[in-house]
Amino acid sequence: MSVVLQSTPVRHAACAFAEGHRASYARGLSQDSLMNRRLHCITSIREQLADYSGSREALSPLLLAVLLLYFLDGFVECRQQQLSVHSHYNGVLAIIEALGGQQAVCSSTYPEASLLLSEFVAADLTEAVLQGRLPYFDAAIWKQIESGQVWWAVQDVGSQSLASVFGTMASISQYSHHKELELEVWRSTICTMSNNLGRHGPVFSLKHLFGHINMPP
C-alpha cells in the first residue's frame, strides 16, 4: 500500500486501526496506546489541513486516513461512547466535497480507499434508511462504485448485483424523504387553514379549506 507508506496521517490511522482490531480480540489490553495513536493521527491530519494549499495530491490521502478513523471508532471501537464518529463522518464528506464531489472521488480515488469508500457509502445508506433521512450519496453512484474495489462479491455481467439492490434502496429512501417533506408542507397548510377556519367562523367552510390544497398522490 504505497499511500500508507507515503502519508504520515495514513500510517498513523492504519496503525491505530490495527491496534484497535487487536485490542478487540485481546481482553485486558490497555487503551492508552490506542488512544495515543488515535491522537497522533488526528494531530497529523490537522497539520496537513493547516498546510493545505488546494492540491488534490495532498488532500486525497487524508480521505483514506479519516475513513480508517471512522471505521475504527464506529465499528471496531463502537463501545466507546466518547469517540467522535459523527465528526469523522462529517470529515469524510468535507474531503469528498473538496475533491470535487462524490462522482469525482468514486472515479479517481486511490485503490486502497476504494474498498473503504464502498463500505462507507453502504453505512451511510443503512443509517439513512434506519433514521429516515436523505442519504448523502445519490442512487446512481452505486454503479460507479462497483467499477472499483468493493466489499461485496461482484456478480457476472447480466445478473443483478448487490450494487443494483443498494441503488434501488437509495432511490426508495430518496423518494420517501421527498414525499415526507411534501406531507409536512401539506400538514402545515392544513393547520394554518384550520386556524383560519376557527377565526372566521362557520362562514369559512371546509369547502374553502380543501379547495386551496393540492392533495398528494
pTM attached to this predicted model: 0.76
Q: Please give the sequence-ordered ranges of beta strands (E in DSSP) within 42-105, or none if there are none.
A: none
The single residue listed with the C-alpha cell 450519496 is: 137
Residue 58 has pLDDT above 90, yes or no: no
How many Å apart are CA 124 and CA 122, to the nearest integer? 5
Assess whether pLDDT exceeds 60 at residue 108: yes
- In this predicted structure, the answer to whether residue 47 has a pLDDT above a threshold of 80 is yes
Q: Which pLDDT score, from 0 to 100, does residue 176 have?
A: 74
CB 113, CB 92: distance < 8 Å: no
Q: Looking at residues 155-182, what average pLDDT do you find?
A: 75
Average pLDDT (55-82) is: 83
* Residue with the larger pLDDT of the pair 160 and 22: 22
- Position 4 scores a pLDDT of 60
Residue 1 has pLDDT above 60, yes or no: no
Q: Which residues contact 72 (CB under 8 A, 6 or more apart)?
A: 13, 16, 17, 20, 38
Could you read off the pLDDT of 113-158 as tens digits, one per residue?
A: 888 999 999 999 999 888 888 899 999 899 888 888 888 877 655 5
Residue 209's pLDDT is 46
Does pLDDT of 85 surpass 70?
yes
- Give the pLDDT mean for 28-41: 78
